């Protein structure tokens, strides 16, 4: 994916039941998941009081002499952390700093710390409700709205379970939440559709319980994977174990299908499979769906790294050689943006090394996870052609994206999506490929191994799992087709309720 599409957030939380320090575990848990959010990171721990650390950019690598003191940065036997890419609130530096999670939210009666992964569809309505009650309050991030709602319920002497239940019933959207009560109790819960992943695990001696967006946050700490939270479930930790409570019934599961194609790390498990196994199956399925264009190719190349496992599957099913002719510059991690026309190739050169001698005169089958806006894919294909590729057949694992996402992925309008305006043949012409071969929706679902009605496929089918998102999508589509200008993140400004 070279369109620089962003996930919104990732979380990691831990509690040490023998009162040891948890900051190091949270630090590594966030490092393992930095692909889910680059703009800022933060950690709040508790040892009788809250302690906070927040900063912009990636979770830092720390030099050896300072490393031990870095790991002692915050005291506390329980804590939560977050890495963030913003899909609500401002994106100027000041807004990014003030929007960095976790947040502490409180009233005179109670306080809590909270962090999440997701996006609230009825953001506008919720914000206005709170503004009516407390006009002086300012909101920098969605999760503050969840925190404010929880604190309001807790202040009315409701217990945590019924307060979380109210959130689940009144908030629409994707929310995988971790939090700390004012007494340092660790809790986590998932929205009733389970749109974003959230799993639990234990240290081998079961002294530390952890909650993580992806299992890789557990693996890096040497923890054992225990279970994925159910949609509508709340968990607490107690004496080295988890206490699980199903607060609202799951009416319809809707795990984001895009996690499998792009967002999640290949070595994370979602559902009952590792993500890389699903991607290999995508490749095998693409070989079945587009045998003609495989037969018209001399060699497979993959755009690292989400295309790699797909290429292996395509190679296994077709017998065509997978030439590892595109490599990522391993230690160049800065995001590259196209600033000037003459920078077009430099942008790709800084990210990828393409070995032209392996492509010259060849018909290449290129595996890629998705095409969103199409601008960067165009530059990649231009580069492949410049290096001598005779034909370029694109094999895309995620079906054609025809609509926006309201659940936290950075694609908010129809107009920005090349797939909402053009069929595959036109897209091929626009981006300079000979063919663009999207995996079918049914093929994607079969490869994932869940039922279609257990996945969110809103952006590729136009059918969203929650009612307000569907209403917004339909209204936006109608206006877009009539040529009206679109208003960016509609959930922040829409009065459709
Ligand atoms: S609309 Fe698309 S990107 Fe958004 S949650 Fe659903 S499948 Fe994922």
| CA atoms within 13 A of residue 261's CA, in its CB half-sphere | 30
Q: Return the residue matching tokens 């587009």.
A: 290
- Answer CATH for 280-450 from 3.20.20.105, 3.40.1390.10, 3.40.50.2020, 3.40.50.720: 3.40.50.2020
CA of 459 to the centre of ligand 1 (A): 6
CA of 174 to the centre of ligand 1 (A): 10
Write the residue with the smallest CA distance to atom 4 of ligand 1. 405
250 in catalytic set: no
Pocket of ligand 1 (CB under 6 A): 195, 256-258, 405, 407, 409, 456-459
CA of 464 to the centre of ligand 1 (A): 8
Show pLDDT as tens, one digit a residue, over the chain (497 residues).
545 555 569 999 999 999 999 999 999 999 999 999 888 999 999 999 999 999 999 999 888 888 888 888 899 999 999 998 865 556 677 777 788 899 999 988 899 999 999 999 998 888 888 888 777 667 777 888 999 999 999 999 899 999 999 999 999 999 999 999 999 999 999 999 999 999 999 999 999 999 999 999 999 999 999 999 999 999 999 878 899 999 999 879 999 999 999 999 999 999 789 999 999 999 999 999 999 999 999 999 999 888 999 999 999 999 999 999 999 887 776 554 444 556 666 777 778 889 999 999 999 999 999 999 998 889 899 999 999 999 999 999 999 999 999 998 888 899 999 999 999 999 999 999 999 999 999 999 999 999 999 999 999 999 999 999 999 999 999 999 988 877 766 655 555 55
Q: Which pTM does this prediction carry?
A: 0.93
pLDDT at 338 (0 to 100): 45
CA of 338 to the centre of ligand 1 (A): 26
Domain with CATH 3.40.50.2020 in the chain: 280-450
* Closest ligand 1 atom, residue 403 Cα: 1
CATH T-level assignment (fold) for domain 9-251: 3.60.20
Domain with CATH 3.60.20.10 in the chain: 9-251
* Closest ligand 1 atom, residue 257 Cα: 7
From the candidates 4, 9, 200, 456, give the one annotated as an active-site residue. 9
pLDDT at 335 (0 to 100): 54
Mutation probe of ligand 1 site: the residue of 5, 8, 258 with most atoms within 8 A of C-beta = 258
Mutation probe of ligand 1 site: the residue of 193, 231, 405, 464 with most atoms within 8 A of C-beta = 405
Distance CA 287, CA 67 (A): 48
């Amino acid at each position: 994916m070279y369109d620089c599409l962003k996930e919104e957030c990732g979380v990691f939380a831990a509690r040490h039941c023998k009162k040891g320090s948890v900051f190091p575990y949270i630090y590594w848990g966030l490092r393992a998941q930095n692909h889910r959010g680059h703009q800022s990171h933060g950690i709040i721990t508790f040892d009788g009081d809250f302690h906070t650390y927040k900063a912009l950019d990636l979770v830092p690598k720390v030099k050896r002499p300072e490393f031990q003191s870095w790991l002692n940065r915050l005291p506390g036997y329980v804590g939560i952390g977050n890495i963030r890419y913003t899909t609500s609130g401002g994106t100027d530096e000041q807004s990014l700093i003030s929007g960095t999670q976790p947040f502490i939210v409180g009233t005179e009666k109670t306080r809590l710390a909270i962090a999440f992964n997701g996006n609230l569809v009825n953001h506008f309505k919720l914000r206005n409700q709170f503004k009516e009650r407390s006009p002086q309050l300012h909101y920098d991030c969605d999760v503050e709205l969840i925190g404010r709602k929880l604190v309001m319920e807790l202040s009315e002497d409701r217990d945590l379970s019924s307060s979380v239940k109210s959130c689940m019933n009144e908030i629409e959207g994707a929310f995988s939440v971790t939090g700390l009560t004012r007494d340092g109790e660790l809790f986590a819960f998932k929205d009733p559709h389970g749109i974003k992943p959230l799993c639990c695990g234990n240290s081998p001696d079961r002294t530390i319980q952890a909650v993580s967006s992806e299992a890789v946050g557990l693996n890096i700490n040497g923890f054992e994977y225990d279970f994925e939270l159910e949609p509508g479930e709340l968990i607490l930790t107690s004496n080295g174990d988890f206490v699980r409570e199903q607060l609202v019934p799951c009416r319809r599961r809707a795990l984001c299908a895009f996690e499998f194609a792009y967002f999640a790390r290949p070595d994370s498990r979602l559902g009952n499979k590792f993500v890389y196994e699903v991607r290999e199956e995508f490749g095998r399925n693409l070989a079945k769906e587009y045998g003609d264009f495989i037969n018209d190719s001399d060699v497979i190349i993959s755009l690292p790294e989400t295309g790699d496992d797909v290429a292996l599957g395509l190679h296994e099913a077709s017998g065509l050689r997978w030439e590892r002719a595109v490599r990522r510059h391993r230690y160049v991690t800065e995001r590259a943006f196209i600033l000037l026309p003459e920078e077009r190739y430099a942008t790709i050169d800084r990210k990828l090394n393409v070995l032209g001698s392996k492509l010259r005169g060849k018909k290449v089958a290129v595996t890629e996870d998705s095409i969103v806006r199409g601008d960067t894919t165009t530059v990649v294909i231009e580069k492949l052609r410049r290096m001598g590729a005779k034909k370029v057949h694109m094999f895309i694992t995620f079906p054609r994206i025809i609509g926006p996402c309201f659940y936290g992925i950075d694609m908010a309008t129809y107009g920005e999506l090349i797939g909402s305006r053009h069929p595959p043949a036109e897209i091929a012409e626009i981006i300079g490929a000979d063919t663009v071969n999207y995996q079918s929706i049914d093929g994607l679902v079969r490869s994932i191994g869940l039922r279609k009605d257990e996945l969110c496929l809103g952006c590729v089918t136009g059918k969203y799992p929650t009612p307000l998102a569907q209403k917004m999508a339909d209204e936006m589509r109608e206006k877009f087709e009539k040529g009206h200008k679109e208003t960016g993140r509609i959930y922040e400004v829409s009065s459709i309720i």
